[in-house]
Each structure stands twice: as C-alpha cells, then as structure tokens.
Chain A
Amino acid sequence: MAETRFMKGNEAIAEAAIRAGCRFYAGYPITPQSELLEYMGAHMEAAGGTFVQGESEVASISMVWGAACAGNRAMTSSSGPGFDLKQEGIAYLASYEAPAVVVSMMRYGIGGGDITAGQDSYLQAAKGGGNGDYRLLVLCPNSVQECVDFTYQAFDLAEKYRNVVLILGDGAVGQMMQNVVLPDYVEPNINRYDWVIKGRAAGEKKNKATNLNWYMGDRPWEAHIREKLHRMQEQEQRWESYLVEDAELVYVAIGVSSRVAKQAVKMGRAKGLKLGLIRPITAWPFPRKAFEAVNPDVKGYMVVEMSIAGQMLEDVYGATQFSKPAYCCCTGIDIPVAEDVLARAEQALRGELEPEVAL
C-alpha cells in the first residue's frame, strides 16, 4: 500500500528527492525554505547520501555542480537573494550540461526582500538568471502532492535533457501542510551515464567536465543547445486548464495564486460568470499550447500573481500574440484572496480596467 503522510511542502520536496535517488544535497538556510534543508540534514545520511550545509549559497551550488558531474543525483534549494547567489553555478551547470535539481521557494520583495511568500522570482526563473543563452526546465507545484510528484520527476527530466530542472514554489506552498502519497524509492547507479567523471585506469579514455563548446567547437555547440531548447520547448509544455472552453475571462496563475484563482473561478461560475483558469505547470517552457483551447471569443486574460508589476504578463501576451487584452491582479506581499480576485475579474469584464502594459 502506498505510504501517505501529512507534510509541509518543503519537507515533501526533500522526501521525494531522497526517494528519487538524490544522494547529494548542499544548501544554506533561508526562510521560507529552511525546512527543506533541515529535512535533508535529518534524513539524507540514513539514505546513504551526503548532506552538506555549505558556508554559503555559492559554495553549495558549486558542490552540487561537482556532484552532478560525477553522476550523482544532486540538489540544492534556496529562496530570493539566496537563489540570486546560485545563478553563477546554475549557468556553469548549463554550460557543462550537468543535470541537477534546484529548488526556489519564492519570497516577497526586491534584493533581500522579506521572508514572507511572494512570486517575484518568476522572470529570473523562467528566463534564466545567469550568464548566457540557456533555460531551466521550470516546474511549478501548487500543492504538497505536486511538490512530491514534480520533484520525483525532476531528476529524470534533468538527465533526459542534461539540463537543470528548477522546482519553482512559493513560501505559501512550501509552508502549507497537506496529506500526500509518497512514491517508491529508487537507487540509481552513479555510473549509469557515459559522460560522468570518475577515476579511470591508465590508458582508459577520460571524460572532461567542462564547457561543451571547448571540445565540440562553437558552431556545433550552438546548434546542439538550440536544438535541445527547441525540443524541450515543444515537448515539455505542461499546464492545467480549468473551464476555458466557454470562458469570457481566463485567469493565468501559478503556485498559491493559482489555488486562489481556481477558487475565484468556482465562485464566479456559481454567480453565472464564465471564468476560467490556465495554470502553467512549466514556467519554462511556457505552455502556449494551453491557449489554443480557450474560447476564441474570450474577452481577456488576467494574471494573478504576488508581484508588483506583473512578471508573467509578457508570457501571456506572447502566447496570445497580443490578440487579447490582459489584466493584472498583482497582490504584492499579500496572498490573493478569492473574493478580491473575483471582484477584479468583474471589473475587467465591465470594462472598468485598462489592459495592463507588459514592461
């Protein structure tokens, strides 16, 4: 019988990673994701893996970089300014095509910000935050069960594409507790790929972990990266659609905001308002395909997001090729409240809101 447990989102990610065969974790504590690190500290050793609390975020992502090159299923996690510090390491992982899983539990604000939940790291996560033309495959859980399911899949996806997979949550999803079903344990062979670096006998061909273009040549490497990103863009768009076929206004939201937006759809429908929801499960690749099923006469879209100026807005305009107006319900430091989200949609449908300008 499947094992169920009542867990926090942060703990659920850690447990799912261990069950997926993650055997190296390095991190540095930061609210609102510290329970993830604490859980790894308490349980990684018993799973036969290594837990390191690094001296900084930079050190931690660098250790993950090394572990990934050696074929380990490796993970780190952070939030806000800590996620900033990991960008250099993430870009190096991208340039080496070393697979790893990174978690960002978004917090509020700019720079140091504040420890409460936010969704302000969307652009940094979805567009790449380090140097160079790379993308992360970004999975956005909105429940504790999805924290488990997406983390469990993340390692396979990272290795399939030799690409960093980012679990992009928010403080509210990381802190909430729900009942979850946990998957079985897997124990990957650290030498299962021919690209890993390890001790080799004299005369045996040695692998190098380095920038791929240094031995592939710049042009072939560019073509290789371009092809991979396009393949991911085509194959990995994931989303949940809710009542979009006849909707007059469709919310677009991830994480905790998507839970509230769905609640607002239900409340609106109960009053006869035709609302719908597209919930991107992948922030990159953004699920443009989801918009194909929307009522062609939809009057507009509304991004519900804990940000200041609407970070996902440009992706919505991109997906619709600016064919429909889009509005924002940006709640900043506050978790959106369903009644307010519904009222905002009613305003838009009455023509009382100006479409939002994507910055």
Chain B
Amino acid sequence: MAEIICGGFGGQGILTTGMILANIGVDEGLEVSWSPSYGSEMRGGTANCSVILSDDEVGSPKVTYPDYLVVMNLPALQKFEHSVRDNGAILIDSSIVPTDRAFPEALPVYAVEATQLAHEAGAPRGANVIMLGALIKISGLFSEDAARRGMNRFFERKGKNSPGNDDCFTLGYTRVYRVQ
C-alpha cells in the first residue's frame, strides 16, 4: 500500500512519527513493519525509520524507494529525496528545512512549519505529531478519524495520552501547504 521513510535529528521525535503511523496501520488491519536506522546508516546526522503498510506480506523491512519521504532536517532530505518513487511525495518541516531550494522536479513537495507551530502552541515536543497530521492530510493513507483513533491508542498504551496530541495533529492537518 505505501512505503514511508521518516528522517530527522535524534530527539525531534521523527522515529515516533513513524511508529505512530505503523500502529495506526496495525489497528486498521494492515501488514506493517517499522525499522529504525542505526550504526553506519546514521552517519551524516540523520535518524530515520522505514515504515511499510501493506495489504500483503511485507518483504524487506528496509524501504529503499519510498512513496512518502517525511523529513525534519536537511541531511535526511538530501539523503533520500532522489530515491522517492515517481508517484510519491515529499513532506518537510519548513521551519527547519529551507523551501527555497531545488527539489526533485517531478515530485510534489509539501511543507508544514512543524517545529515553529509546536513552539507557538506551547507543545515543543509535539512537532512530530504535527508532521503526522500533515502526512495524513497529504497522503490520505488513513481517514482523519482512523488516524486520530490510532494515534490516541498509541499514546494511551504508553500512558501519555493528552488532548495536546489531538491539537498538534489538527495543526498539521490544517496548516500543511504545497511548495511545489
């Protein structure tokens, strides 16, 4: 159904963005895998994860050609932007990644000021959930309801449920815009 790479600096919560997405997929009855990068894959300042959402058995857990690339820093964008599939899309945190640059020409590029919006909302650690909301909006991978339900279940299981998560999701869902 879709293969996604989420990347950024360690501490931005981008691996959790991928993990929430994977958990939504599980709740929706899909075959799912989530795999982190580690070791030499992380040289160059990116932490990233591969998420696979599928109707069929998952093959390699590592995504080589993503349908969606979701990035919260420039190194992650530079590392993966040329591997995105032709019918794929790129989503960036435009408070960190500049939008006035040359992106792969044929691809739609979306942006949301995730880190900035999170600070303004008084939820600085919610930037990753803003990215999730934006991804759901641009991809339609799941309905808004299913995504929120899965996200809240994820945080409930971790004992970290809060209305702030829904607020951040809404920010991402409503404030994402197309750059290219």
Contacts and interface: CB of A to CB of B under 8 A. Distances in A.
A and B pair up: yes
Interface of A: 6, 31-32, 114-116, 172, 175-179, 256, 259-260, 262-263, 266, 333, 335-339
A178 B33 contact: yes
A contacts with B: majority SS: mixed
Contacts of A176: 33-35, 61
Given A262-B59, A338-B59, A175 B38 contact: yes
Contact of B23 (A6, A116, A262, A338): A6
User: Most B CB atoms within 10 A — which of A115, A178, A256, A338?
Assistant: A178
Interface string B9-37: 00000000001001100100000111110
B2 interface: no
Contacts of A177: 19, 22, 33-35
Contacts of B125: none
Contacts, number: 61
A327 B180 CA distance: 45
Nearest to B154: A6
Contacts of A333: 40
B contacts with A: majority SS: mixed
Given A6-B26, A175-B35, A260 B60 contact: yes
Interface residues of B, number: 20
Q: Considering the complex of A and B, which 4 residue pairs feature the smallest CB-CB distances, nearest first?
A: A263-B59, A116-B39, A176-B61, A177-B34
Interface of B: 19, 22-23, 26, 32-36, 38-41, 57-62, 64
A176 B57 CA distance: 14
B122 to A, nearest CB: 30
A259 to B, nearest CB: 5
B22 A263 contact: no
8 contacts: A6-B34, A31-B39, A32-B39, A114-B39, A116-B41, A256-B61, A262-B57, A336-B60
Nearest to B26: A179
